[in-house]
Structure 1
Amino acid sequence: MEDNVRYKRLKGSSNLRLRLVLATLSGTPILVHDIRADETFPGLRPHEVSLLRLIEKVSDDCLVQINPTGTKFKYKPGIMMGGRCEHDCGLSRSIGYFLEPLILLALFAKKPLSIKLTGITNDSKDPSVDTFRSTTLPMLKRFGAPSEGLNLKIESRGVPPRGGGAIVLTMPIVKNLEAVNWIDEGMVKRIRGIAFSTKVSSQFENTMIHAARGIFNRLLPDVYIISDHKTAAQAGESPGYGISLVAETTSGCFISVDTAISYLRKEESSEIEDERQELTPPGDVGEQIASALLEEIDQGGVVDSTHQGLLFLLCALCPRDVSKIRVGKLSPYGMETLRHIADFLHVKFHIKPDPSTGTVILKCLGCGMKNLSRKLS
């Protein structure tokens, strides 16, 4: 039965998540070869294998075959099932790495998804679970995802290197998404945020909040950053602290940034004992993240740069109707996403720079993705 499957051949390790999501939604079997073939440690990384296993868990009848060196794999998509399950995301990437592909696939599943993910909730590489809760999930509502059953609960926090965090994500299903005309970014009306710490003094949160507010309060009065000090089992396995901020605009856009400070994972540090590594003082963290948010706001657009790829995917998956959106400068990942969308879904975006604001307006006709596995009520 294997021989008559026609696989789309792709090379290399880049954009693996994007390729898996688009392959699954478009029902395209893929064969990815030459994965880090020339590197000292060739093949798939632990988090990439974990993502493949996660997709296997939430779908039925999908096929994953990885060669012994991990430099090549075949993936034949199955039916997204949803339902209840658990997955350990491991420690080489945070839970945020797994959430973006998962939420896109879950929308088109047979049943609503309820999944417990364990591992790292906050690090400096991937969007934090706070950002998904404050910014990513509200964005799905714009495209017609129901509010009911759309939730992310943080049970415990975990930072590198040892993690220990856990979240529960529940996702509703849709029959199809709704096209958007989303070009008015509005003016920033308030800033919200959450500063957390695990296994360090709660004074770290106050210092970060005070430093961030020092920058924002000169610009707008409505700034509210809460502190979330975790202790005992809820504080995970490693010491760390961080802050996640979101600016809400008058037109209902959410622009977010986040960061977390902790000791390095083993593969990132040299032979020297981890504990000697100097961590950024919390006051500096608060100032840096506040400045980062102001830069994101300054770029313009209805989403921040980390959400561009997801925004383009949602537009492409809409019914055969025109979506029109405004973003700031196109991010490298945003551009990669546009290329992959054209390749898998044959949806091309019309891109028009708006010189007066330094933003870019994109238009596309959706591919008409329908949830075929959803039970008809």
Structure 2
Amino acid sequence: MGKTAYKKLKGSQSFRQRLLLATLSSTSILVDDIRANESWPGLRPHEVSFLRLLEKICDDCKVEVNETGTILKYKPGTVMGGRNLAHDCGVSRSIGYFLEPLLLLGLFAKKPLTIRLKGITNDSNDPSVDTFQSTALPILKRFGVPSEGLKLKIESRGVPPLGGGEVILSVPMVQNLNAVTWTDEGMVKRLRGVTFSTRVSSQFEHAMIYSARGIFNRLLPDVHIATDHKAGPQAGNSPGFGISLVAETTSGCCISADTAVSYARSEATDELEDLEKKELTAPEDVGVQIASVLLGEIEQGGVVDSTHQGLLFLLCALCPPDMSKVRVGKLSPYGIETLRNIRDFLGVKFVIKPDPSTGTVILKGLGSGLRNLFRKVS
């Protein structure tokens, strides 16, 4: 056996994405200087949890971390997938943080993946599990991922600071993805959404729906927002409420926005214990805010919203070496970081061309040709 050559990286940015691309491209990485100069140096709990998750779904992957957590050596193994897996995501980031990489790893696994994830289902930092259901899964179908076996089931909900939610994710294997030409965002034809509440009155949901509909019904008639009030064990361990909205267009695009309201995480309130008793944002204001955010996303144009730019670029980069062409709104910081990581790990560069007439950006590029060698050709 020869000595492992490590790709050297610095810092904690794009931690999850670097590990994802290192695994898919079979690149060993050495990351140093992880928050070395901060008062709390090293890996955060959610990053350690993500490493544990990789160890669960991969065979023969090696993870080495130094005592202070500021240096990580990662040697990827074979993505095995498998059924009846379970992982506790903890409460420092929501389940949405773990879902995007899991979707992509599951596609190229040795066996179909079914995994139960526990933790926070809805918060204001990461995309909610509802948004994954309504927006991320349809994006995968565009690239030739079969509907059969692609599912996200919400068993119970959990909000910060104590979580308590559970979801089951199922991802089928593919031999390879299909390159896409996806530049027509269409016009918004209907609006769908879901509100949720845990350990608070269901009236909070009706207030959010009423205020959101007050804005949308002036613009289009087909607006339907469902309610999902959880009680008992299905309501997790903390009180909270939230809303996830998705605008469906005539060309089949889904533009989404979501938010959740709950008490601040304990880490954020270490010095200010009395913050536990602070007033939460009124549900009427939450409805108006999220409606405004969604209208802003629609106004930007593009076939996906700013949250899903990273997922779209990754899927394009993992396609066969055919030309993919997609239109997005203004590039988000996460989207730009994703393009850099794709270039570094997969050697894929996109031609980026602004379209001044619409204020959107068109990206064209050849995929890296990643194939799932375990999937038999039918």
Equivalent residue letter for 2:180: V
Give structure 1 stretches of 5+ with no counterpart. Answer: none
Distance in 1 separating the partners of 2:283 and 2:240:
10
Deviation at 1:373, TM superposition (A): 2.7
**Alignment partner, residue 161 of structure 1:** 161
**Alignment partner, residue 217 of structure 1:** 217
Distance in 1 separating the partners of 2:372 and 2:275:
48
Matches within 5 A, 1:114-125: 114-125=114-125
Deviation at 1:77, TM superposition (A): 0.6
**Alignment partner, residue 364 of structure 1:** 365
Equivalent residue letter for 2:63: V
- The reply to whether residue 350 of structure 1 matches residue 351 of structure 2 is yes
**Alignment partner of 1:294: what SS?**
helix
Tell me if the contact between 1:79 and 1:373 (Cα under 8 Å) persists in the aligned partners.
no
Matches within 5 A, 1:1-377: 4-84=3-83, 85-269=85-269, 270-375=271-376
Tell me if the contact between 2:156 and 2:166 (Cα under 8 Å) persists in the aligned partners.
yes
Once the two structures are superposed, residues 189-219 of structure 1 have per-residue CA deviations (whole angstroms, 9 ceiling, x without a partner) of 0000000000000000000000000000000
Tell me if the contact between 1:110 and 1:375 (Cα under 8 Å) persists in the aligned partners.
no
Equivalent residue letter for 1:319: P
Deviation at 1:280, TM superposition (A): 0.4
Distance in 1 separating the partners of 2:102 and 2:75:
17
Deviation at 1:277, TM superposition (A): 1.6
Distance in 1 separating the partners of 2:99 and 2:73:
22
Give me the TM-score of the superposition, normalised by structure 1. 0.99
Equivalent residue letter for 2:285: D
Pair 81,375 (structure 1): closer, same or farther in 2 beyond 3 Å: farther
Distance in 2 separating the partners of 1:374 and 1:54:
23
Deviation at 1:17, TM superposition (A): 0.9
Give structure 2 stretches of 5+ with no counterpart. Answer: none
Tell me if the contact between 2:175 and 2:377 (Cα under 8 Å) persists in the aligned partners.
no
Distance in 2 separating the partners of 1:112 and 1:251:
30
**Alignment partner of 1:153: what SS?**
strand
Distance in 2 separating the partners of 1:141 and 1:57:
26
Equivalent residue letter for 1:68: E
**Alignment partner of 2:273: what SS?**
coil
Deviation at 1:271, TM superposition (A): 2.7
Count residues with an aligned counterpart. 376
**Alignment partner of 1:260: what SS?**
strand
Distance in 2 separating the partners of 1:166 and 1:205:
21
Deviation at 1:275, TM superposition (A): 2.9
Distance in 1 separating the partners of 2:20 and 2:178:
19
Once the two structures are superposed, residues 72-121 of structure 1 have per-residue CA deviations (whole angstroms, 9 ceiling, x without a partner) of 11100101011120000000000000001111111000111000000000
Deviation at 1:278, TM superposition (A): 1.8
Equivalent residue letter for 1:243: I
Deviation at 1:314, TM superposition (A): 0.3
Tell me if the contact between 1:61 and 1:79 (Cα under 8 Å) persists in the aligned partners.
yes
Once the two structures are superposed, residues 194-245 of structure 1 have per-residue CA deviations (whole angstroms, 9 ceiling, x without a partner) of 0000000000000000000000000000000000000000000000000000
Give me the TM-score of the superposition, normalised by structure 2. 0.98
Distance in 2 separating the partners of 1:363 and 1:373:
29
Equivalent residue letter for 2:125: K
Deviation at 1:276, TM superposition (A): 1.4
Deviation at 1:372, TM superposition (A): 1.4
Distance in 2 separating the partners of 1:373 and 1:277:
53
Equivalent residue letter for 2:25: S
Tell me if the contact between 2:198 and 2:231 (Cα under 8 Å) persists in the aligned partners.
yes
Q: CA RMSD in A?
A: 0.9
Distance in 1 separating the partners of 2:92 and 2:376:
37
Equivalent residue letter for 1:82: G
Equivalent residue letter for 1:58: I
Distance in 1 separating the partners of 2:221 and 2:267:
43
Deviation at 1:272, TM superposition (A): 2.0
Once the two structures are superposed, residues 233-258 of structure 1 have per-residue CA deviations (whole angstroms, 9 ceiling, x without a partner) of 00000000000000000000000000
Equivalent residue letter for 1:183: T
Once the two structures are superposed, residues 156-197 of structure 1 have per-residue CA deviations (whole angstroms, 9 ceiling, x without a partner) of 000000000000000001000000000000000000000000
Deviation at 1:374, TM superposition (A): 2.7
Distance in 1 separating the partners of 2:113 and 2:121:
19
Once the two structures are superposed, residues 25-77 of structure 1 have per-residue CA deviations (whole angstroms, 9 ceiling, x without a partner) of 11000000000000001000000000010011001011111111100111001
Distance in 1 separating the partners of 2:66 and 2:192:
47
Distance in 2 separating the partners of 1:21 and 1:181:
25
Greater shift, 270-279 or 61-70, is seen at 270-279
Distance in 2 separating the partners of 1:147 and 1:301:
24
Distance in 1 separating the partners of 2:145 and 2:59:
23
Deviation at 1:126, TM superposition (A): 0.2
**Alignment partner of 1:17: what SS?**
helix
